[in-house]
Structure 1
């Protein structure tokens, strides 16, 4: 879904997952003791019930660097400068392990009691706004939870509450809106805390999602997800509902994105662009909000429809994401006849991302038709079916335009056989003396077919297209990078490249 900078190559590098064992006896004891502590607090008991109704399957990921003898070298490796690490790694065989620590083994009474007391305190007496200015369901979902992502359980709430409640008291807080506070906190995170993208990565990423101790130690976000988790920690600690929002794959860019969303006084969630509900207009196909309560797992739904597990992409195996695409961009429901594909039970909608067609939505085949709902507009798509060998594309690529119309980029109505190209990728101009290969999408083989190779001698390239009908979807790659597949595709209209 999202990519972060990979760990540098070690002399012996192995990535594996270990899972801690579940202990139902201990977790039931923890639940009973926590409920007993709050026996006279009905709100706390309801909140505890919510947590224990939804904790199963939740976990944190702990990164460790171990020698073959099992000696933990994490502190040494994580303190290495990336530019000086090789001498150390050459002297020791290091395996990188990521251990999955389930909440069922990590939760304890004292941790839950502290978390509950602080969460209820800011709900009853918020830093800003009226008492209980949002409903109980919102509190349980977006303030109460003891975890934000897949971080190892840690005491983020007391630290960030103490730090930022004191900080905000230096302002005339009664005159501030939640939007004002959001901007103040954002400036502080990027300023005083020096928690910013602009510093180059100098060390290994300590974990998939950082704990408060790791944030304080490294002072660096290694990805957009790190910043979002940190910001959500801060907002929730102050009693302001906040959530992670996920773009699995951009519709017009490569990779994906995660950011925090904040609830304002109007009871609506906004991205970290204040008062702009659609900063990603016409850029995304799908966007989701992370929940703590469990939602229907798409994989389980597909299996119930008769689909085999191995024929389902791993992208759809989740139980904590709700679709908020319609809150962030213009959307449409689109239906296709796939009667020619008799064996398909489930069809997928894909976007072109980092050189591949990646699935962003799925639909059950009913009466030889599929309907994809709440699909972002002005994006290039392709349908597919999935098997154990991967995604197999069907039909042909199409563009769902800004008005919700489906257009196929078949190039049989062009009024010229000439293409004049100025960019080899979005915002990347041609380099004089560099060779480039022009590709066209072949709807029969569902692959890129090379048309021409030419060396740039000026700021533009001229191509004469063959007379036969082409798909009308192109890409241009530097010829000296044979595996360079991350360039964006484009169509051509009225003498201009239109990037997808």
Structure 2
């Protein structure tokens, strides 16, 4: 996943967390707060609640979506020429990434620019859009491969209209009409069977592209058949939810190489998440790759959810921007394939006694990208659930923008021991 392709809805997390936990707001429910934040769009959301007033279960589903909606943001990017004309970048199958990168470089040299718009769901989602998505989700919840899931699982992994930060997509009905009949005719009874069937059927139609100049959209992926790993994961998760297969996107930032990776995780009938990349034909292959190939073992894994996650650390925010402070990410490292440990380090006396966030960064080839958030209590630093056999550096932010290293390179081995110095 190229660093230039990572477009995240950075927002002032301290405002979000203060708003979420501030005592004076505790008398206001999450639903009431969401409706207030909707501003001029409040009437649309209230129309959804009124529409389901006589259907208690669908009303609860609508309330789930609305109360968790406030901080969801859709990112729309496009290419604009010097005259202001808009273009989509064509990632058609069969063109090498190097050629696509060269084309983008040529466009940039001629004055073409990437434009970005961000829209808060709470302010733009229409009643009709939300009602259609809710009704379609309930239809597929009755399928043999999905009917055993609880209402909570349904709300978290099938119902949501959004996967990550893609623009709002209206293809849910089209996806159902195109693919449901294959699953119905095959007589599948488990989500795993249905998932692997669709992956096998679509693996040549929708493929990975290492380069994508703009943040991926589901419509572009559906049209072009190519996207980076994040776009591929978003597309497959959206498609699988559309046919009643509970799916989310997990992601990591590598410690031993540049960039990161995103993939899908599907909840099976035993309430275990099975992980795969879009187009893969089985779950076991993915498990082996992520547990046996040393450079591809994730040091941390995060799951993008639709519902707001309570953060592990609640303290005054230092202003540093990272997707790890997004309230919709859940640390799921402890559910993956490799041993994990709490990394604990005592700083030297001159480091001071200030309590603060700390940032666990990779060292070397990944250009010190942030891998995890931790907590500093005086001179004691702790980062929970870290996979070993990796080099790290601990940093903190003092000016709201830049990281300052607190340690030299630390090596966490595969048994959880911490030593100083780089290990290859």
- Give SS of 1:183's match: helix
Alignment of 1:214-229 (within 5 A): 214-221=220-227, 223-229=228-234
Partner of 1:128: 145
1:308 Cα deviation from its structure 2 partner? 3.4
Partner of 2:283: 274
Cα contact 1:64–1:72 (8 A) shared by 2: no
Partner of 2:202: 189
Gaps of 5+ in 2: 11-35, 93-98, 277-281
Q: Within 2, Cα distance between the matches of 1:358 and 1:93?
A: 30
Partner of 1:117: 135
Partner of 2:64: 50
Q: Which has the higher contact order (CA 8 A, sep 6+)?
A: 2
Cα contact 1:262–1:269 (8 A) shared by 2: yes
Q: Within 2, Cα distance between the matches of 1:353 and 1:109?
A: 49
1:319 Cα deviation from its structure 2 partner? 0.8
Matched, 1:381 2:398: no
Provide closer, same or farther for how the CA distance between residues 359 and 220 of structure 1 changes in structure 2, counting only shifts above 3 A. Answer: closer
Q: Within 1, Cα distance between the matches of 2:369 and 2:3?
A: 14
1:398-417: CA deviation from partner (whole Å, max 9, x where unpaired): 222222222334xxxxxxxx
1:179 Cα deviation from its structure 2 partner? 2.3
1 or 2, which has the higher helix percentage?
2
Partner of 2:159: 144
Q: Within 2, Cα distance between the matches of 1:337 and 1:25?
A: 47
- Please give the TM-score of this superposition, normalised by the length of structure 2: 0.79
Q: Within 1, Cα distance between the matches of 2:155 and 2:75?
A: 23
Cα contact 1:315–1:359 (8 A) shared by 2: no
Q: Within 2, Cα distance between the matches of 1:56 and 1:94?
A: 33
- Give SS of 1:55's match: coil
Alignment of 1:9-408 (within 5 A): 24-67=38-81, 71-74=84-87, 78=90, 82=100, 93-123=111-141, 125-128=142-145, 131=147, 133-171=148-186, 173-174=187-188, 177-191=190-204, 194-197=205-208, 205=213, 207-211=214-218, 213-221=219-227, 223-247=228-252, 249-272=253-276, 274=283, 279-281=289-291, 283-296=297-310, 301-303=314-316, 308-309=318-319, 312-328=320-336, 329-340=338-349, 341-346=351-356, 347-352=358-363, 354-388=365-399, 390-408=402-420
- Please give the TM-score of this superposition, normalised by the length of structure 1: 0.68
Q: Highest CA radius of gyration, 1 or 2?
A: 1
Cα contact 1:127–1:238 (8 A) shared by 2: no
Q: Within 1, Cα distance between the matches of 2:261 and 2:250?
A: 8
Cα contact 1:261–1:269 (8 A) shared by 2: yes
Provide closer, same or farther for how the CA distance between residues 315 and 30 of structure 1 changes in structure 2, counting only shifts above 3 A. Answer: closer
Provide closer, same or farther for how the CA distance between residues 210 and 263 of structure 1 changes in structure 2, counting only shifts above 3 A. Answer: same
Q: Within 2, Cα distance between the matches of 1:278 and 1:382?
A: 28
1:371 Cα deviation from its structure 2 partner? 1.9
Q: Within 1, Cα distance between the matches of 2:113 and 2:370?
A: 32
Partner of 1:9: none
Provide closer, same or farther for how the CA distance between residues 137 and 5 of structure 1 changes in structure 2, counting only shifts above 3 A. Answer: closer
Q: Within 2, Cα distance between the matches of 1:367 and 1:308?
A: 16
How many residues get paired?
375
Cα contact 1:289–1:321 (8 A) shared by 2: yes
